[in-house]
Amino acid sequence: MRSRVWWTLIVALICVAGHAEWTDPTVDVPAFHAAPPPADAKLPPILHGKQLTGPNFQLPWQVKVYKDAAKVPGVLYQLPCYCRCDRAIGHTSLRSCFQDLHGAECGTCAKEGFYAYQMTRKGWTPAQIRAGIERGDWKQIDLNTIAGGKQHS
């Protein structure tokens, strides 16, 4: 009887611990860096120039988000990406999405990247932008209007 009580308590504790993980929003924040990259960091470049052509760059917003990302790479380095590419393909921050073709193929990355650029232009800090991304503020961006200048910053 005593061992049954102990096993019940152990199972209950495991359930409580598991539930706590699902209810704490800070536990499920995707990968990002808490500080800007070190000055001597050798990070892969954001795609640029002729790299922004071809089948992955057929829509005007695809080119625009990469050009904007290249203007704020240190900010993107400090932001999470909610498409969960950290888990799926090993990205370490939103910046990683623009070092390869992922940002052109994923609406989440593109919207978050454009949001980060917009908010940086408004004077927001990376921490403020990260909070906005965590709130989902980037979801209101319409990618089809940003290249035509219709999106307000």
Residue 124 makes CB contacts below 8 A (sequence gap 6+) with 132
pLDDT band per the 50, 70, 90 thresholds, residue 91: confident
Residue 18 has pLDDT above 80, yes or no: no
Residue 8 has pLDDT above 80, yes or no: no
Residue 136 has pLDDT above 70, yes or no: yes
pLDDT at 22: 42
Average pLDDT over residues 112-137: 97
pLDDT at 4: 62
Residue 9 has pLDDT above 50, yes or no: no
Mean pLDDT across the chain: 83
Residue 71 has pLDDT above 80, yes or no: yes
Q: What is the pLDDT of residues 30-61, one digit of tens each?
A: 888 899 999 888 999 999 999 999 999 999 99
Residue 3 has pLDDT above 70, yes or no: no
pLDDT at 130: 95
